[in-house]
Amino acid sequence: MQVMVQKFGGTSVQSSENREHVIRHIREALVQEYKLVVVVSALGRKPDPYATDSLLGLVDFPTNTNSSRELDLLMSCGEVISSVVLSNELQKNHISAVALTGAQAGFVTNEDFNRAKIKEVNPTRILKELETHDVVVVAGFQGQSESGEITTIGRGGSDTSAAALGVALSAERIEIFTDVEGIMTADPRVVKNARPLDVVTYTEICNLAYQGAKVIHPRAVEIAMQGKIPMRIRSTYSEQLGTLVTSSRVHELGMDIPDRMITGIAHISPVTQIKVQTKESAYRVQSEVFKAMAEAGISVDFINISPTGVVYTVPDTLTTKAIEILEMLGFHPEVTEGCAKVSAVGAGMTGVPGVASKIVQALTDSGVQILQSADSHTTIWVLVHNDDLITAVNALHDVFGLSITEELQES
């Protein structure tokens, strides 16, 4: 039995008109004689009534801090509703389908509510349903702990559900359908001439995704990579094949994956930069600040430590909490809210001289102030004011010629 896993994101299942496109892709896979497991996200985006953020609004999240257990119970309903709506429409279209919650589909997670880890996927029930149905529609983003608690696996987690199912079912392919043509050289909402990539390696897209390219969840890519299941990221609204994600250098299209110096530009915003200067013991600042952040569950990023103090970023939503904690410890942090972390990502930059200077020059020429920077062998990061985000991302996209096709870049 050939199994394919398809995942449709929130906007793809938002309206019955959009779901007609979904059903067309499902039909196409059925014509090719695949047994289909379809993972769905909650319907639409806020203010659509059953979107995840709208459900959270029912309990006044985050102002009113409800129990994380109840939040999971609430959020899981969005994907359950979506699975029933789609399977109902499939039935109306004479396609035999059944809807399952994450728990019914065999997702076992730990009990770390709101960001649970998938421990295991037991596909027995899905395989049984596939004996009598052509399509099993699974509610993404959720599972159940061993003690029976309903959990969710972190925002954007339906991609991860699809990848985990792909591996558990040894699927031939995982197709992630979304509202753009595939993985692009930058977020097309920020860079108008961003270009879709035909093929990328798991590592390339994983780096981009960790740096904020939310078109795919990085955990989903890691799971597919470990299970060696090829993925495609493609548009719900077109017939284009989108981006193939694979590890092999010569992929199924018979082309080499080009050695790109820069694969793309990604960004995360808004974030807050926090500086704590050292007056007495540098050691006390370094150890106490990060220990306190960790104990409060605040994930810190872009950390620079020097004898004169520490600098780091937190998501803007956690700024108030972080400052309160620092002040309670007797520190006087210098805080810059409304920043953006912009990253140039590409495995081919390793050992190539001049990449950082090109970035600095492009940003300076565009009048963008760099607040902080860091680099690794595959990524260069800069922190800028959020007001400069669009200028900065476009400047880097232009300076590396990313809107030009690879063939032209080579010539």
- Determine if 213 is a binding residue for ligand ADP (CB under 6 A): yes
Cα–Cα distance measured from residue 33 to residue 69, given in angstroms and rounded to the nearest whole number: 40
* Distance, CA of 182 to CA of 187 (rounded, Å): 10
| Residue closer to ligand ASP (CB basis): 221 or 326 | 221
* CA nearest neighbour of 269 among 303, 313, 300: 313
Verify binding: residue 117, ligand ASP, rule CB under 6 A. no
Handedness of CA 234, 240, 242, 248 (dihedral sign): positive
Q: From the CB of 275, what's the least distance to ligand ADP, in Å?
A: 29
Question: In the numeric block, which tokens belong to residue 3?
Answer: 């199994």
Do 303 and 312 contact (CB within 8 A), yes or no? Answer: yes
| 112 vs 352: CA distance, rounded Å | 42
Supply the minimum distance, in Å, between the C-beta of residue 16 and Mg ion: 21
Question: Measuring CA to CA, which residue among 128, 124, 125, 108 is closest to residue 116?
Answer: 108
The reply to whether 158 sits near ligand ASP by the rule CB under 6 A is: yes
Interacting positions 156-215 with Mg ion (CB under 5 A): 156
Binding window for ligand ASP (CB under 6 A); candidates: 83-91, 152-160, 314-322, 338-346: 152-160
157 binds ligand ADP (CB under 6 A): no
For position 342 contacting ligand ADP by CB under 6 A, the verdict is: no
- Residue 42 binds ligand ASP, judged by CB under 6 A: yes
- Tell me how far apart the alpha carbons of residues 142 and 25 are, in angstroms, rounded to a whole number: 24
Answer yes or no whether residue 186 interacts with ligand ADP by CB under 6 A.
Answer: yes
Nearer Cβ to ligand ADP, position 168 or 213? 213
Whether the CB-CB separation of 85 and 43 falls below 8 Å is answered with yes
For the bound state, the minimum distance from the C-beta of residue 276 to ligand ADP, rounded and expressed in Å, comes to 32
The CB-of-262 to ligand ADP minimum distance in angstroms stands at: 12
How near is the Cβ of 197 to ligand ADP at its closest, in Å? 8
* Alpha helix stretches (DSSP H) within 58-137: 68-92, 124-132
* Cβ 336 vs Cβ 272: under 8 Å: yes
Nearest distance from C-beta of residue 215 to Mg ion, angstroms: 7
196: which DSSP letter? Answer: B
Q: Are the C-beta atoms of residues 41 and 80 closer than 8 Å to each other?
A: no
Rounded to whole angstroms, how far apart are CA atoms 321 and 336? Answer: 15
Most distant CA pair in the chain: distance in Å?
74
Nearer to ligand ADP, 322 or 359 (CB): 359
Binds 134: which of ligand ADP, ligand ASP, Mg ion, none (CB < 5-8 Å by kind): none
Least CB distance to ligand ADP at residue 10 (A): 4
141 lies in the site for ligand ASP, by CB under 6 A: yes
150 CB-near residues (< 8 Å, 6+ apart) = 72, 73, 76, 103, 142, 143, 144
189 binds, among ligand ASP, ligand ADP, Mg ion, none (CB under 5 to 8 A by kind): ligand ADP
* Per-residue mark of binding to ligand ADP, 263-302 (x: CB under 6 A): -x--------------------------------------
φ and ψ at 146, to 5 degrees? -60, -25
Residue with Cβ nearer ligand ASP (7 or 385) = 7
Angle between helices 355-365 and 389-399 (to 10 degrees): 130
Interface positions with ligand ADP (CB under 6 A):
9-12, 41, 156, 178-180, 183-184, 186-189, 208, 213-215, 264
Residues of this chain that interact with ligand ASP (CB under 6 A) are 9-10, 41-42, 52, 78, 140-141, 155-159
